[in-house]
Amino acid sequence: MTLLRWLSAVLALPTALAAGWLVSQLIVGYADARCAPESRIGGACVAAWHTDWVAGAVYAGVAVAALLVSVSVFLLVPRFKAPATVVALLLGVAAPVALYVATGWADLLPPLGFALALGLAFLMFLSRRRTHA
């Protein structure tokens, strides 16, 4: 049973990343559906509000992935919860870091910092909960 819990914790990372991607795609799809036909050029929406929705979708996807990977690994691993959660959080943000290094797309840095802050806040919450219990 212990081995199964560790294996499921390993699978939590790609599952959390996929859930974050799905959330961001749903938000972008919603924004695309609300775009007026006269605001489309070549099939892409060029309305001023659309850029903000896409940025919000990226933030929401990264937040969902960071929270899911932190919470799921913390709940799944049988021992060494704090170190395993830190490693999972760092592996979870490794994908956006690699994408930033490969592309130089500066828009990836704020969501990356947001994900790290969210994951670290969750870890601080867990550590306070353990010391006050």
Query: Is residue 33 over pLDDT 80?
Result: yes
- Kindly list the domain boundaries of the chain, sorted by start residue: 2-132
pLDDT for residue 131: 53
pLDDT score at 75:
86
DSSP string spanning 37-48?
Answer: GGGEETTEE--H
pLDDT at 133 over 70: no
Tell me the pLDDT of the chain averaged across its residues.
82
pLDDT tens-digit series, residues 73-114? 888 888 888 788 888 888 777 777 777 777 777 777 777 777
Distance in angstroms between the alpha carbons of the first and the last residue of the chain: 27
The identity of residue 34, as a single letter, is: R
> Which tokens in the block code for residue 76?
């799944």
How much of the chain, in percent, has pLDDT values that exceed 70? 95
Please state the pTM of the whole predicted model: 0.71
- Within 8 A by CB and 6+ apart from 50, the residues are 31, 32, 35, 39
